A and B are shown apart, each in its own frame.
Chain A
């Protein structure tokens, strides 16, 4: 008798699993009918025709069915979710290797140009990754520390790039003069954006910053006489090694140091330049977190009203966050301009803002090492899957979903306090106890 009641109130596991799998297969069928089942291609007459691919569709749906069935049978019906089986294992491993990741990454970055001196592709990829690491760290100040969701960060990248390009082409000033100027101009625009959005929070702030990013791009696109419009700005001066140009002439870098001329010198120089700029961003962020202004940023992220009740001027605090974040965006922009030698509004579309924001969010808001890792993984991943062009976005999406399920607060979710009452060790012990 007990068995019978059990089976009526709770269906057999296999039945439940079959039900789950059927539902999953039906969802897959609905999703993939148009994506996979129907394909448009050039027909024999040369016009576009629709070709059905029902066999492929059937295979995909069958795979989904089998997968869902296997999952339901092996793991039971509990949804894979927050606090799943992987999380404690991952976070424990993270705690153990955590302190070594940063130095290891830095050490690796330092030797990349030596190891890959003859591999131009790796050097270029390294420069690209470091640019996004720097942008990620810059945006991390605004989003991660101050908690102001900024969807238009690319605007400051653009301001920096165009400031550098215009100053360098019109006045022929050197890179080392234009770089700080571009940073200051970007910070100025950061404050300018800051003023109207001071009273906005959350979604509303996101919308206005999104619009700001678009406005900057549209101005760059349409102000033909100043920015060159869609043609952009070309022949931007390349950086020199503190006055020594990278060319094969007698006064050039190679000749001065008695080296054989190769174009790689400049690439290596650019690599170290962006590495230094990124490290500067990191250093300033770490220092500012330990200063009252950085603590106020974090406190503002936690509770703005409480901040005001403690006499913190949240207006100034927000504006400094915008300004400092924008300044580093501007630095990255001027680096971008001098590296490319050519810029146009096409480089500063919303997609870039979204990518930088994704790096910050996936890396773990407020975590420096997490952001760097996320930049490496995402841009490295993009390159790795360049051959599977069609499926790149699919894999990207899958990676996002995976992170959201297993690490909903980003790769590195833990926040390290700056101040300790009983010293670092005294704090570590109770933290470990609480976890177990």
Chain B
């Protein structure tokens, strides 16, 4: 599959093996710029493995992951180390099991995310150590950006509270805010709606739409909550046992028999029929 002209992310023939286990097998898909692309599939389908390959936490066994910026700059993510992917290729992510800095305040969590900008402004600590004015300006700008995202995620009143003390839904939103503070072009969200109630899920949908519309950030999403996936996704990729079984618009995916079979299982006679076909 060749990359479409405006694909922000092109995954080509990606495979990830752990010893004898093939977690992801020859997977190819594209994520369009400015779209919300959802990656769905039953438990253990290899969705998070794909995420970890894209964000550099795993080194893929085979395949290519190409990310292109609006200005035409491209990055081959499988060749970059995890923190370089966030720093250079501008891919931000959240985690399935929330990974905040629990002992630091919400504000500090968001300022840590702006580390590389501030590090340069502090002259790699030497200028900052002397307390020069330029660093103070950069720090204020960082706090302002953090304030903006706290406001957007409805956490403005909790900015000085410890991240570990926030409610579950608030922690989820803070993690998204933190990822956004790195100025990403692609935001990878690993089950952002897990553990949220219906109202919080609706708020999450609004937040993600806002991020895409007003900040031009493309979103790649792993999600089990179909109310989120079907409502906001532009494009859905379905994985089962590490293999792509479907790829298309939400409406097409909803009616795809293979997807229904993967999620709900198939009738016994269909299994027999399939076995007969392969000659057992």
Cα A148 to Cα B135 in complex, Å, equals: 28
| Residues in B107-137 with C-beta less than 8 Å from chain A | 107-108, 111-113, 115-116, 118-119, 122, 124-125, 128-129, 131, 135
Name the contact of A302 in the complex, choosing from B55, B103, B107, B161 (C-beta under 8 A): B103
Name the contact of B87 in the complex, choosing from A299, A311, A430, A434 (C-beta under 8 A): A311
A-side contacts of B105, CB under 8 Å? 417, 419
- Residue A3, interface by CB 8 Å: no
Name the contact of A430 in the complex, choosing from B147, B160, B179, B182 (C-beta under 8 A): B160
Q: Interface residue count for B (Cβ, 8 Å)?
A: 47
Using an 8 Å CB-CB cutoff, how does the interface string of A256-295 with B read, 1 for contact, 0 for none? 0000000000000000000000000000100110011101
A-side contacts of B159, CB under 8 Å? 421-422
Chain A's closest residue to B121 (CB) is A292
B-side contacts of A291, CB under 8 Å? 118, 122, 125, 128-129, 135
Cα A182 to Cα B204 in complex, Å, equals: 55
A-side contacts of B118, CB under 8 Å? 291-292
Q: Is the CB of B115 within 8 A of A309?
A: no
Cα A303 to Cα B84 in complex, Å, equals: 18
Q: Is the CB of B104 within 8 A of A311?
A: no
Q: Is the CB of A292 within 8 A of B119?
A: yes
Q: Is the CB of B160 within 8 A of A292?
A: no
A-side contacts of B128, CB under 8 Å? 287, 291-292
| Residues in A315-351 with C-beta less than 8 Å from chain B | 320
Name the contact of B125 in the complex, choosing from A293, A305, A311 (C-beta under 8 A): A293
Question: At the interface with chain A, which of B24-32, B94-102, B269-277?
Answer: B94-102
Q: Interface residue count for A (Cβ, 8 Å)?
A: 36
Q: Is the CB of B107 within 8 A of A299?
A: no
Decide: A417 near B160, CB < 8 A? Known: A299-B101, A302-B102, A308-B83. Answer: yes
Decide: A308 near B86, CB < 8 A? Known: A292-B115, A430-B161. Answer: yes
Name the contact of A421 in the complex, choosing from B85, B125, B143 (C-beta under 8 A): B143
Cα A417 to Cα B84 in complex, Å, equals: 28
B-side contacts of A393, CB under 8 Å? none
Q: Is the CB of A312 within 8 A of B107?
A: no
| Residues in B39-75 with C-beta less than 8 Å from chain A | 55, 57
- Residue B212, interface by CB 8 Å: no
Q: Is the CB of A419 within 8 A of B115?
A: no
Decide: A306 near B101, CB < 8 A? Known: A288-B125, A288-B129, A293-B125. Answer: yes
B-side contacts of A296, CB under 8 Å? 112, 115
Chain A's closest residue to B94 (CB) is A309
| Residues in A383-436 with C-beta less than 8 Å from chain B | 415, 417-422, 426-427, 430-431, 434
Cα A417 to Cα B129 in complex, Å, equals: 18
Q: Is the CB of A421 within 8 A of B107?
A: yes
Decide: A302 near B160, CB < 8 A? Known: A291-B122, A296-B112, A311-B87. Answer: no
A-side contacts of B85, CB under 8 Å? 311
- Residue B259, interface by CB 8 Å: no
B-side contacts of A430, CB under 8 Å? 160-161
| Residues in B181-197 with C-beta less than 8 Å from chain A | 182
- Residue A313, interface by CB 8 Å: yes
- Residue B178, interface by CB 8 Å: yes
A-side contacts of B161, CB under 8 Å? 430
Q: What's the minimum C-beta distance from B138 to chain A, rounded to whole angstroms?
A: 9
Decide: A295 near B108, CB < 8 A? Known: A417-B160, A422-B159. Answer: yes
- Residue B172, interface by CB 8 Å: no
Cα A417 to Cα B111 in complex, Å, equals: 12
Cα A320 to Cα B125 in complex, Å, equals: 10
Q: Which of A296, A311, A422 has the most CB of B within 10 A?
A: A311
A-side contacts of B160, CB under 8 Å? 417, 420-422, 426-427, 430-431
Chain A's closest residue to B113 (CB) is A310
Decide: A287 near B129, CB < 8 A? Known: A306-B101, A311-B115, A426-B160. Answer: yes
Cα A296 to Cα B71 in complex, Å, equals: 30
- Residue B238, interface by CB 8 Å: no
Decide: A309 near B150, CB < 8 A? Known: A292-B115, A292-B122, A293-B125. Answer: no
Q: Is the CB of A419 within 8 A of B143?
A: yes
Q: Is the CB of B108 within 8 A of A310?
A: no
Cα A417 to Cα B160 in complex, Å, equals: 8
- Residue A247, interface by CB 8 Å: no
Chain B's closest residue to A420 (CB) is B160
Decide: A303 near B143, CB < 8 A? Known: A310-B115, A417-B108. Answer: no
- Residue A169, interface by CB 8 Å: no
Q: Is the CB of B101 within 8 A of A303?
A: yes
A-side contacts of B115, CB under 8 Å? 292, 295-296, 310-312
- Residue B235, interface by CB 8 Å: no
Decide: A302 near B87, CB < 8 A? Known: A284-B129, A296-B112, A421-B159. Answer: no
- Residue B220, interface by CB 8 Å: no
- Residue A20, interface by CB 8 Å: no
Cα A299 to Cα B83 in complex, Å, equals: 14
B-side contacts of A302, CB under 8 Å? 100-104
Decide: A312 near B147, CB < 8 A? Known: A305-B99, A306-B99, A306-B101. Answer: no
- Residue B170, interface by CB 8 Å: no
Cα A313 to Cα B116 in complex, Å, equals: 9
Q: What's the minimum C-beta distance from A335 to chain B, rounded to whole angstroms?
A: 22
Q: What's the minimum C-beta distance from B165 to chain A, rounded to whole angstroms?
A: 8
Q: Is the CB of B55 within 8 A of A309?
A: yes
Q: Is the CB of B182 within 8 A of A303?
A: no
A-side contacts of B35, CB under 8 Å? none
Cα A306 to Cα B104 in complex, Å, equals: 13
| Residues in B143-163 with C-beta less than 8 Å from chain A | 143, 146-147, 150, 156, 159-161
- Residue B244, interface by CB 8 Å: no
Chain B's closest residue to A314 (CB) is B83
Q: What 7 new A-B contacts, CB under 8 Å, besides A417-B160, A421-B147? A: A284-B129, A301-B103, A306-B100, A311-B115, A313-B83, A320-B125, A417-B107
A-B contact pairs, 12 of them (CB 8 A): A284-B129, A291-B129, A292-B119, A296-B112, A298-B101, A306-B95, A309-B86, A310-B113, A310-B178, A310-B182, A415-B103, A417-B105
A residues contacting B by CB (< 8 A) are 284, 287-288, 291-293, 295-296, 298-299, 301-303, 305-314, 320, 415, 417-422, 426-427, 430-431, 434
